[in-house]
Amino acid sequence: MGIFSSKSFATKTICVGNLSVGGTGKTPMIELLVRELSGKYKVAILSRGYKRKSNGFLLSNEQTSVEDLGDEPFQLKSKFPDITVAVDADRRNGVTQLRQKIKPDVILLDDAFQHRKVKPGLSILLTSYDNLYVNDWYLPTGNLRDSKREASRANVIIVTKCPVNLTSSEKDKIRASMNPKSHQKVLFSYLSYNKELKGTALSLDALKGKKVTLVTGIANPVPLEKFLRLEGISFEHLKYKDHHFFTDQEIEFLKSKDCILTTEKDYVRLKSKIIGLHYIEVKHEFFDNNDERLKNELAEFMITTS
């Protein structure tokens, strides 16, 4: 409305976010951007660090823990140790600190679409196929935490977690329902799970016939449940709230389980407390060469003058 100001920075900034509360695949999208950009540019990631036990601006190092950073930033730092990861609820201050201390070529703003103190150079809006923002409603009735009109700020809208057999006519119908602006690209992706488990050197097939306990503390575990059932894995599912920090009593209970399979985000909170954990990696895959369209958008953005 023009009452408060949004600040632009000379340093390239790319925002990844959503209009709803969680569950759209932001962290795998940040990972995709890191892989695409880090070979060519000095990349930094700035996150709020949700539910972390520290305050203010914090720059990660070898001593910072998952409690200091929060689970998702810690996951990113663990996977990409050469990338700068910082947390700050005040995104404007966080960008300023990174520019002074690190001087990156590009800053990835994780889950910052609704934080309008910073005006990013490129905005990527994610919306889940099974809960499109155009069909959603506002909290507490629905899951929207921001106005649907704000989607117009996005340069790229990615419909995530689509079924792998999504048809062209369904894509056209979804695209039409969004009524994108002329400058906006609407892309479609699905989740791809790595059948080679991490944490321990086993394949997913090795879990068949075992008493598997799936432990999740994520916003939307349904796609993972569906994938495991399609792969013939039988499991009990212990569901916890998103970003859940496990109590000592819960840890002791989990230690009594024969075989625990978890997500990468949950793994970083559990690995120091439970031996023999298996976790499954996930990434975005795109339909119809949509990944090339995203790469071209990134390349064009990075070579333009701010």
Question: Model confidence at 158, in pLDDT bands (50, 70, 90)?
Answer: very high
pLDDT tops 90 at residue 162: yes
Distance CA 65, CA 52 (A): 10
Q: Which conformational region is residue 232 in: left (phi greater than 0), alpha (psi within -120 to 50 degrees), or beta?
A: left
Place of tokens 């496990």: 246
Q: What pLDDT, on the 0 to 100 scale, is given for residue 96?
A: 96
Mean pLDDT lowest among 217-221, 229-233, 292-296: 217-221
What pTM value is reported for the model? 0.93
pLDDT tops 60 at residue 250: yes
Domains in the chain: boundaries: 12-191+285-303, 195-280
Q: What pLDDT, on the 0 to 100 scale, is given for residue 47?
A: 95
Select the more confidently predicted residue: 2 or 188: 188
pLDDT tops 60 at residue 25: yes
* Adjacent-strand bridge partners of 168: none
Amino acid residing at 196: E
Mean of per-residue pLDDT scores for the chain: 94
* Adjacent-strand bridge partners of 199: none
Would you state the structure tokens that stand for residue 52, as one six-digit string?
Answer: 């972390």
Task: Give first-to-last CA distance, the chain, whole Å.
Answer: 24
282 is in an annotated binding site: no
User: 35-70: string of b/e by CB count within 10 Å (b at 16+)?
Assistant: ebbeeeeebbbbbbbbebeeeebbbbeeebebebbb
189 is in an annotated binding site: no
216 is in an annotated binding site: no
pLDDT tops 70 at residue 208: yes
Class of domain 195-280 (CATH, top level): alpha beta
pLDDT tops 70 at residue 256: yes
Find the mean pLDDT for residues 203-213.
95
21 is in an annotated binding site: yes
Contact 16, 30 (CB under 8 A): yes
23 is in an annotated binding site: yes
Question: Model confidence at 201, in pLDDT bands (50, 70, 90)?
Answer: confident
Question: Model confidence at 51, in pLDDT bands (50, 70, 90)?
Answer: confident
Give the Cα-Cα-Cα angle 83, 86, 89 (nearest 5 degrees): 150
pLDDT tops 70 at residue 1: no
Question: Model confidence at 181, in pLDDT bands (50, 70, 90)?
Answer: very high
Q: Got the DSSP string for 191-246?
A: EEE-SB-BSSS-BGGGGTTS-EEEEE-SS--HHHHHHHHHTT--EEEEE--TTPPP
Find the mean pLDDT for residues 259-285.
94
Tens digits of residue pLDDT in 104-146: 999 999 998 988 889 999 999 999 999 999 999 999 999 999 9
Question: Model confidence at 50, in pLDDT bands (50, 70, 90)?
Answer: confident
Same fold, 12-191+285-303 and 195-280: yes
Question: Model confidence at 305, in pLDDT bands (50, 70, 90)?
Answer: low
Of 139, 125, 108, 96, nearest to 7 (Cα)? 96
Percent of the chain at pLDDT exceeding 90: 85
66 is in an annotated binding site: no
Tell me how far the alpha carbon of residue 142 is from its chain's centroid: 21
209 is in an annotated binding site: no
Kindly report the CATH number that applies to the domain delimited by 12-191+285-303. 3.40.50.300
Q: What pLDDT, on the 0 to 100 scale, is given for residue 252?
A: 96
Stretch (H or E) spanning 22: none
283 is in an annotated binding site: no
Give the Cα-Cα-Cα angle 78, 81, 87 (nearest 5 degrees): 75
Find the mean pLDDT for residues 8-28.
93
